[in-house]
């Protein structure tokens, strides 16, 4: 069968450095760090006391009181970024076929705050178990996708992908595949995460996964730097509208970029550590390029997973050099996590938005907070340190890797008629 072409027609973002896409993009280009001391909880007893929180987010500005009671923060974030993306795409839900529009959403942990608060309150109160009737419907990871479809009446395929930090990238790949197979005309794809709370902070701290640079939070996320000491916990949401090309043309939609490939692989190596030679990362980029019908030398830009962890930041550049050979040194590489922190299950969506905008605008946001070269990393690679880079970007990859060895890579191309 002839596969359909898939394009991006709308974007929505709620991030620690911008509460909408224009602000997010502007902050990325200007190298703004979203890391600050945590304000929403008492962190005085925690080893790490900072994160990349959303700034000035008030659910009352977006939802009525009944909705706030029903929505965990991760669902709130999903609804807000999706509203922006639909508006950006110029979509009137009443003027599309609801049976041909689906929602695929990614989240690594879902309603962690709801789960923690309900269990904590039960432990404090004691006695017979008394839980909120909203406990389960607020907590389950699939509920954001459900609420999006309920609000807009979209009756196409609807589910959630959960693959740790690769969750939303897997969601985007599924959106792409189902549209090109003719199963739908449009998908709302993306991911959200709300893990800046006692359970999220405490859990990642216990793993020694997050930075403890409390004296200087804004420089704590240091991808590819010798003195990196872990990722910075982030939160937020990203939504991308995927659309079949002819469907987009018929309604006169603006087109940001074309989605041309998706790759998925497993490290099959360790629960939390990447394969030291980056074997899973090599395969996932290779699969994405093969799916797209392009060669390694066609790639101009890679938005890396680049978390600022000791092992991950060695394995990924090693994988890039292994796959791309001499062309690796001609690719502009960056890590937007140096500014946003790690949005966990939402990372793939938020970083794909940045990648799409790089393809559209021929400019690559910087990797900030680089101070000292790491001798274990090939520093001849172009990591786009310190300042944005203007260059032609015809083809770009967005890498996302998750605990458990889950790898996903999405390929975006400049749109041509």
Q: How far apart are CA 311 and CA 212, in angstroms?
A: 17
Q: How far apart are CA 410 and CA 396, in angstroms?
A: 8
Which residues touch 149 (CB under 8 Å, ≥6 apart)?
102, 103, 155, 158
Which residue bears the tokens 């959960």?
162
Q: How far apart are CA 89 and CA 49, in angstroms?
A: 38
The two structure tokens encoding residue 335: 């890590």
Q: How far apart are CA 58 and CA 19, in angstroms?
A: 11
Distances (CA, A) of 302 to 49, 228, 337, 393, 395: 31, 21, 13, 10, 9
Size of the chain, expressed as the number of residues it contains:
417
What are the φ and ψ backbone dihedral angles of 208, each rounded to 5 degrees?
A: 60, 35
State the DSSP H helix or E strand holding residue 344, giving kind and residue range, or none if neither: none
Strands (E), 171-294: 186-193, 236-244, 257-266
Strands 50-51 and 36-37, by their bridges, are antiparallel
Contact 21, 13 (CB under 8 A): yes
Which residues are known catalytic residues?
A: 165, 305, 342
Among 326, 304, 328, CA closest to 316: 304
Q: How far apart are CA 100 and CA 91, in angstroms?
A: 13
Among 137, 164, 17, 20, CA closest to 82: 20
Q: How many helices (H) and strands (E) does the chain have?
A: 13, 14
Edge-to-edge order in the sheet of strand 257-266: 158-161, 101-106, 186-193, 236-244, 6-14, 257-266, 406-413, 395-402, 301-303, 332-334
């Amino acid at each position: 069968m002839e596969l359909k072409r898939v394009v991006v027609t709308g974007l929505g973002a709620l991030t620690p450095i911008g509460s909408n896409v224009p602000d997010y993009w502007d902050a990325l280009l200007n190298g703004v760090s979203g890391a600050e001391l945590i304000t929403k909880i008492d962190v005085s007893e925690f080893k790490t006391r900072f994160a990349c929180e959303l700034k000035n987010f008030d659910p009352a500005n977006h939802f009525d009181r009944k909705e706030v009671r029903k929505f965990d923060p991760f669902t709130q974030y999903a609804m807000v970024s999706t509203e922006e993306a639909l508006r950006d795409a110029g979509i009137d839900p009443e003027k599309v076929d609801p049976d041909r529009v689906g929602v695929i959403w990614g989240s690594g942990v879902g309603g962690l705050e709801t789960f923690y608060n309900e269990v904590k309150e039960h432990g404090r109160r004691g006695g017979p178990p008394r839980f909120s009737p909203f406990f389960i419907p607020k907590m389950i990871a699939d509920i954001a996708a459900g609420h999006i479809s309920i609000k807009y009446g979209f009756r196409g395929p609807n589910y959630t992908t959960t693959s740790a930090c690769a969750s939303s990238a897997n969601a985007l790949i599924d959106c792409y595949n189902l549209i090109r197979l003719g199963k739908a005309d449009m998908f709302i794809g993306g991911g959200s995460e709300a893990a800046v709370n006692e359970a999220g902070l405490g859990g990642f701290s216990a793993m020694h996964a997050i930075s403890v640079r409390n004296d200087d939070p804004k420089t704590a996320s240091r991808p590819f730097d010798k003195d990196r000491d872990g990722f910075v916990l982030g939160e937020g949401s990203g939504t991308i509208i995927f659309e079949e090309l002819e469907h987009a043309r018929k309604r006169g939609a603006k087109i940001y970029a074309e989605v041309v490939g998706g790759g998925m692989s497993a490290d099959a190596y360790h629960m939390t550590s990447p394969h030291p030679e980056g074997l899973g990362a090599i395969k996932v980029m290779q699969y994405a390029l093969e799916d797209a019908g392009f060669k390694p030398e066609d790639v101009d830009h890679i938005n890396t997973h680049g978390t600022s962890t000791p092992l991950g930041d060695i394995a990924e550049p090693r994988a890039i050099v292994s796959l791309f050979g001499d062309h690796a040194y001609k690719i502009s590489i960056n890590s937007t996590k140096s500014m946003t922190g790690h949005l966990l299950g939402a990372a793939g969506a938020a970083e794909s938005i940045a990648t799409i905008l790089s393809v559209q605008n021929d400019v690559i946001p910087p990797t900030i907070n680089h101070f000292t070269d790491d001798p274990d990393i090939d520093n001849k690679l172009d990591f786009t340190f310190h300042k944005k880079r203007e260059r032609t970007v015809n083809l770009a990859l967005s890498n996302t890797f998750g605990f458990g060895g889950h790898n996903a890579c999405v390929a975006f191309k400049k749109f041509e008629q």
